[in-house]
Amino acid sequence: MLEARRRLAAGEHPPFVVIAQTQTGGVGRLGRAWSSPRGGWWFTVAVMLNQGRKTVHDDTALCIADWVLTTCRAVMAAQMGVEAPQLTIKWPNDVMAGDLKLAGVLIEVVGTGNGPVALVGVGVNANIDSKDLGEGVRERATSLRTLMNMDVDAKLAHVSLTMIAERIGEAVAPIAHPAGLVAAMVRPHLWGVGRTVPITLPDGARVLGRIDGITDEGNLLATIDGEQRVLRSVDQVG
């Protein structure tokens, strides 16, 4: 993502993709460390926003996470020859296998002389062993290699990366998604529905809340202290 910013500053015009073999300063939402060893899929897609738009829609990260999930399941099904393990989306931007993180999406919007550009960063733990992940991360993460007990085929990985990058452009470029479309896609495999989990609110308060679902706009519904509330992406879950 930093390299994408440098290319924009140097005058490169979107769309373009930056792919890394490894990252030494990878971060996730809210500045959390993201371990990015060799063997993962680490890339950022730069997409120019349509004229008049200054930000992406609330459900865009969910939409992209859903496509990452679908791609990972297709890879596993193709190589394992059986139905792929169940994957879910942990609101608002993580792909999970059980309670372990498999992939994540991070979106930033930067201003350029030609208008705002969305930088969509995607990280997938692909051909990685848990021991290669950083301390404090390996206990909370898994990989395609671990789930399949084999590496992702190189040609299949190339096709998968290309498909995700192309669909990111589709997700970011439209003026708006049809109302409720993304939520309808995500609801069947939303992580944690019915579970009570820790939630950090924007003021830093830590509370317990039950995950109830998502709104048509892609925000999370959670019951906190007996009251159902709508949480936005500035809130933290889990």
Domains (range + CATH), the chain:
2-185 (3.30.930.10), 192-237 (2.30.30.100)
When mean pLDDT is compared across 175-184, 195-204, 212-221, the lowest value belongs to 175-184
CB atoms closer than 10 angstroms to residue 100? 16
Report pLDDT digits (tens) over 121-180. 999 999 998 777 777 677 889 999 999 999 999 999 999 989 999 889 888 876 666 768
> What pLDDT, on the 0 to 100 scale, is given for residue 234?
64
Tell me phi and psi for residue 11, to 5 degrees: 100, 5
Neighbours of 210 (CB within 10 A): 17
CA atoms of 227 and 204, how far apart (whole Å): 19
> Over the stretch 1-49, which tens digit does the pLDDT of each residue have?
899 999 999 999 999 999 998 877 655 555 556 667 888 999 999 999 8
Q: If you count DSSP H runs as helices and E runs as strands, how many of each does the chain have, helices first?
A: 5, 11
